Structures are given as C-alpha cells and as structure tokens.
C-alpha cells in the first residue's frame, strides 16, 4: 500500500463512544459522526479509523451488539457515499470484524490478541483486499495500566507479537503488503517503555510495516506537561513527524489538518524523505 518512495498514510481517528479519553461523547450522535468523517477526509486523511469501544486505560468492555449499534449508522453512510474502502474499524471483537468486512471496509484495526487463523480466513475470504492492523496491548483496557510493562519487556513482547501476528495473518490469506503492525504506545506500557518503542521505530519499520498512534496520549501530558488540547496536539505532531521520518508507514491521529502539511513538506525535501 505504501511502496518505497512515498510518504506515510494518515489515518484520522473518529470515536463514536461516550468515554474515549480525548473526544468521548463528542461524536456519539451519528449526524455529528458523519459530519466529522467528511471533515477528516477533507483535511487529508487517507483512511479514517472508527472506534465504537473505548480502549482508554480503565475503560469497561461493551458487547458486540452495542458496538455494532454505534458503528452501523456511520458505516452505512460511508457505503452510501463511496467511502467504505477508506474506512478502518477499530475493534477487538471478531463478530464486528466479520460484519465490517462484509460491508467492504478497507481496514480492520485490532488492538490486542488477534482472532485465530480459522476465523481470520473467513474475513479474508469475504474481503480479499482487506488490510489488517495488529496492535499490541498488554492486558485489557480495564487493567492495562495497573502494572504496565517496562522498556526491555515492551521491546521483547512487541517484537514477538509482530512476528506471531504476521505469521498468523499470512497463514489466513492476508497479503503481506496488507499487514500492518502497531507497537501500541500507551497500551499497558510505562512512560519509559513508550519512549523505548518510539526510539525503536526505525528498526521495527525496517522489518515490518508499522503504524504508530501517539495522538494526545497520556504520556505526552505527563512528560511534556502538555495539559491543554493545543499543547497535546503540538507535541503529538512533533513525535508523529519523527516516527514518519524513521519509517512508519501509517500515522493515526486526531488532528489531520495539522499533520498533512508536515507530510507535504517532508515530501518536498526529497523523494521519499519521510522514509529516510
């Protein structure tokens, strides 16, 4: 999807939840969600990642029925307006993955353990061109920050997760260039572990197609004293630019409008500048 010499893709974030850490409740109304979906594409998103279950630290699980109730109006709108292939669904539930795949979404973004190979085969049979992001999480949203893992453990576990997920996805029929791996910054890691994973971005990106999501996350507030939204966004952009230069193939972000000009500027420096 992102051949050598092109800048990384931008994945805008749209949460249709009442309790996400940054914008919970803001787009729970389907009319507001679809309006923001259009805005994210207008601002320069290549894909928009729609999440209906919060994965913030301490969040409680919801069932797949409620998750789909929140997702369906936005996915229906995307299908009607010919945007469905540029939609990513952020979910940990196979039932939701299957329904979204049948609708023709372009990406499944799975945080945590991925489904077993037989289940994965079902969704790739229905949607052969489906891209899949496997994102590492230590524990579950409810408990992941109770005992976060440190730098050495995080690096070891993320590399092992990337290897295992890649093998399972290819065994299930996912095309190699459709497999993306996310180290899961903030998902059950200490602040030191988050920094270690960011520093390892270049090495990880040489072997895997990496996705990085740091936008507005808690470690930015703690380490940089970025208390307000504008400060968190500015700090996020600096980190996002750095990991793009290090070789990340996709960046997940809330503020697409501010990131697109940075990527455009990187592309002007030299062909493939964002990949080094």
Give the per-residue pLDDT at 59: 61
> b or e along 126-143 (b: 16 or more beta carbons within 10 Å of the residue's beta carbon)?
ebeebbbbbbbbbbbbee
Q: 135 has which bridge partners?
A: 111, 182
Ranges of the chain whose pLDDT falls below 50: 1-5, 272-276
CA distances from 183 to 120, 172, 186 (A): 21, 21, 9
Give the per-residue pLDDT at 276: 44
Give the per-residue pLDDT at 44: 96
Question: What gap in Å lies between CA 264 and CA 87, rounded to an integer?
Answer: 22
Give the per-residue pLDDT at 7: 80
Give the per-residue pLDDT at 246: 93
The pTM assigned to this predicted structure is: 0.91
Question: What gap in Å lies between CA 83 and CA 258, rounded to an integer?
Answer: 22
DSSP string, 111-170: ESSPPPHHHHHHHHHH-TT-EEEEE--SS-TTTTTTS-B-HHHHHHHHHHHHHHHHHHHH
Give the per-residue pLDDT at 88: 98
Which tens digit of pLDDT belongs to each residue from 124-180?
999 999 999 999 999 777 766 788 999 999 999 999 999 999 999 999 999 999 999
Indicate the CATH number for domain 9-275: 3.20.20.20
Tokens 């910054």 -> residue:
185
Question: What gap in Å lies between CA 240 and CA 249, rounded to an integer?
Answer: 11
**Which residues participate in catalysis according to the annotation?**
217, 252
CB 70 within 8 A of CB 50: no
Q: For residue 73, which of 103, 46, 97 has the smallest C-alpha distance?
A: 103
Q: Are strands 211-213 and 250-253 parallel, antiparallel or unpaired?
A: parallel
Give the per-residue pLDDT at 2: 38
Token reading at 181: 């791996």
Give the per-residue pLDDT at 140: 73
Sequence-separated contacts (24+) of 155-158 with Cβ below 8 Å: 155/193, 155/196, 155/197, 155/200, 158/183, 158/184, 158/197, 158/204
How many other C-beta atoms can be found within 10 angstroms of the C-beta atom of residue 187? 27
Compute the residue count for the chain.
276
Domain ranges of the chain: 9-275
């Amino acid at each position: 999807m992102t051949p050598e010499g092109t800048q990384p893709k931008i994945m805008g974030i749209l949460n249709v939840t009442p309790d996400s850490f940054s914008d919970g409740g803001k787009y729970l109304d389907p009319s507001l969600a679809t309006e923001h979906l259009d805005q994210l594409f207008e601002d320069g998103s290549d894909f928009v990642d729609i999440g209906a279950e919060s994965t913030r630290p301490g969040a409680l699980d919801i069932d797949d029925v409620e998750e789909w109730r929140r997702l369906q109006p936005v996915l229906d709108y995307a299908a009607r307006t010919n945007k469905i292939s540029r939609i990513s669904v952020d979910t940990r539930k196979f039932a939701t993955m299957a329904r979204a795949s049948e609708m023709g979404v372009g990406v499944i973004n799975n945080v945590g353990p991925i489904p077993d190979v037989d289940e994965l085969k079902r969704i790739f049979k229905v949607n052969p061109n489906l891209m899949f992001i496997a994102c590492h999480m230590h524990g579950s949203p409810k408990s992941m920050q109770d005992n976060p893992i440190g730098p050495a453990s995080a690096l070891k576990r993320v590399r092992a997760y990337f290897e295992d997920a890649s093998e399972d996805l290819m065994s299930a029929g996912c095309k190699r260039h459709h497999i993306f791996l996310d180290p899961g910054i903030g998902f059950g890691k200490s602040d030191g572990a988050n920094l270690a994973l960011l520093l390892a971005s270049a090495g990880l990106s040489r072997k895997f197609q990496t996705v990085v999501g740091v936008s507005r996350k808690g470690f930015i507030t703690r380490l940089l004293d970025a208390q307000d939204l504008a400060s968190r966004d500015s700090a996020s952009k600096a980190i996002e630019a750095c990991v793009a230069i290090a070789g990340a193939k996709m960046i997940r972000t809330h503020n697409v409008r501010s990131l697109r000009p940075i990527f455009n500027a990187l592309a002007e420096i030299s062909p493939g500048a964002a990949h080094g």
